[in-house]
Structure 1
């Protein structure tokens, strides 16, 4: 059928001259583009509606939002300033500011606010006293039956260390999620609001229980043991180099694909204790011609353990090896890690003969924390090795 001729017939008032089945076909063909446009408009709305607020009687999980500061709690000006912010020139972002600026989280959980920031004058140099105070509080919150999950904000520079420490000393199956940002809260295209929103979703999810302390940024979920910062400024900085993410915070739901297998939180022999202080453990970095006198100085200043960040698969230099022997003669426990950050330091015959404990695939700063905790219990090399094998 010639559709143009039929249209002309309709315009000329000759529609009655067409058979009824041909007239119906003409009308359907002419209406097709209009119907398609309507369907498209219905399927792809011009804007996404905001998430609905919960009903007054809705049973939402209760999530504690705890601030330990960091870039996510920092301001700067102008908005394009995403590298030089905070300090005495700009007031810090209070926990209540997060809730005010991000009302969407009220649709996820009942939020309880906690401020555990270090004083402004030493916000960038937290001490073990700060860690101990927060660990004590996390243990208290974990025992509260009204609390379902906890989100802890932290600066990204040392977040992985803090999260790993809490992973070892907080006794709970409840989700504890660490989060931060690479850009200040006031920055243009800042990653803080989305990261915080996602972290609350992870802490509120029943699927997050029993997985130890988690880290959620840039939509990736990693265990505290495995995650490390890999880039100074990029928002995709946190990665689990050897094992990768265990889940993702997708727009439709929080989804997990794997379970952490190393001991943590409720399964940790260190959990629930209040460590007011820890044995001194230092880190010695190996590089070409690295001297041994730095290790001697560590021992002279009271180090009970030394973590060597070795070359290749965890090797110290010749001078460091001699210094290690002198340290071991004084009862110092030595653990080997690799400066490559990826790959395990293995238990080889040569390493056993040297009485050096392999640090598995832990980065040196995390091996240091684990060795500190191990030394609160034992100096036996076999027991220290067991701890590194299990955690």
Structure 2
């Protein structure tokens, strides 16, 4: 970011702006303070821990149930008046409706409002595609729950034709928690979205000052701050206090290079081809794959042992995979080690199982879904996994 020298009058204008922001969330300035030509960033909420409030500052792991208070997008802007010095921020809310509190005498809820749905991903992807052509928008930040954030960001990277910066961000602790990571994560995400160098790199993920690609990032710890990492390839940049710095470029196809634009997918999210995941382990049975075959799935992702191997045996996964393939089901294999590629060996080519490179099973599932919406040719699908 370029450092600027502020005149006394400009400092006064900024002070008035930040004072207004503290007073009410609705007083976001439509233009920057005089003398500052700031980037325009849309802050879009998809919910999650960063949009949650605990009942005490020490409540950092038991929050967000039905009826619990939430943090609206405009509250973030009001709580972080510092944003007014780095971008002109407007907000949009794409959270699902909050379920009502449990009725008296009903058992307590075991979780929050529920996970992200494909229908919700469709809505966000379509909105991002609209923003891609809006000359009044320079960058976009999407807040999301950390449990499935990497999947959602990957879906956007596959389906939205955009060169503007798109940054997914969340937090491991609620907005109200002591030592909460949400405020700095959100501030840095806006900084990244306002940085022109962040454009054209596909959908990015930014937490704990690290910048990862949506393709490679994964969550590795339930509660720790450094939970998100790209195991094989590492970060592509950092959001340091002085400036946002990038060191590498993603080479796999994404966003404006992708062939899976949201406009070309089935109009109804429920019409996406059904793809499910199974796990490989000692004596894993084949009947789970048989059941999925009978249920009518179009693809199966096997999270394989070692370098991506299903379990064998007459009653194991290997024989069930053959039965599924005989019925036209595409089978893709990932490696449960989470590090290293599934390689294209002669034995694997003979089996007809498609290697998913180093994708996690949930991301391989999404890629297989959009691929099957376009083609059922195994050679074409293998080409897609090689390129994405």
TM-score tier after normalising by the smaller chain length: 0.7 to 0.9
- Provide the C-alpha distance between the structure 2 equivalents of 1:272 and 1:309, rounded to a whole number of angstroms: 27
Please state if 1:283 is matched with 2:261.
Answer: no
Partner in structure 2 of residue 307 of structure 1: 301
**Counterpart Cα distance in 2 of 1:388 and 1:273:** 21
* 2: CA distance, partners of 1:173 / 1:74: 31
TM-superposed deviation, 1:127: 1.3
Q: Provide the residue aligned with 1:123 in structure 2.
A: 113
In the alignment, which residue of structure 2 is the partner of 1:13?
Answer: none
Answer yes or no: is the 8 Å Cα contact 1:213–1:224 preserved in 2: yes
CA distance in 2, matches of 1:345, 1:299: 24
Q: How far apart, in 1, do the equivalents of 2:222 and 2:138 lie?
A: 33
Larger-gyration structure (1/2): 1
Shift of 1:85: 0.7
Match of 1:75 in 2: 53
Q: Does 1:363 align with 2:371?
A: no
Q: Tell me the SS of whatever aligns to 1:157.
A: coil
CA contact (8 A) 2:66 2:113 kept: no
Aligned position for 1:110: 88
Quick one: distance in 2 between partners of 1:89 and 1:113? 23
SS in structure 1 of the partner of residue 66 of structure 2: helix
The alpha carbon displacement at 1:272 in A equals 4.4
Q: Distance in 2 between matches of 1:347 and 1:303?
A: 24
Per-residue Cα deviation, 1:33-61 (whole angstroms, up to 9, x for no partner): xxxxxxxxxxxxxxxx9xx6664242111
CA-CA distance at 1:264 after TM superposition: 0.3
Aligned partner of residue 163 in structure 2, secondary structure: coil
Partner residue of 1:200?
A: 190
- State the alpha-carbon separation in 2 of the partners of residues 89 and 355 from structure 1: 49
- Which of the pair is proportionally richer in helix? 1
Q: Displacement of 1:290 after TM fit?
A: 0.2
Say how many residue pairs are matched. 343
RMSD of aligned residue pairs (Cα, Å): 1.6
- Return the alpha-carbon distance in structure 2 between the equivalents of residues 231 and 129 of structure 1: 27
Q: Which runs of 5+ in 2 are unaligned?
A: 1-10, 16-31, 100-111
**How far 1:299 sits from its partner (Å)?**
1.1
1:130-162 deviations in Å (ceiling 9; x for gaps): 111111111111111111000000000000000
Post-superposition CA distance 1:147-180 (Å, at most 9, x none):
1000000000000000000000011100000000
TM-score by length of structure 1 reads 0.86
Tell me the TM-score normalized by structure 2: 0.86
Aligned position for 2:336: 339
Which whole-Å deviations, capped at 9, do the CAs of 1:272-315 have from their partners, x for residues lacking one?
Answer: 42532310000010000000000011111111000000000110
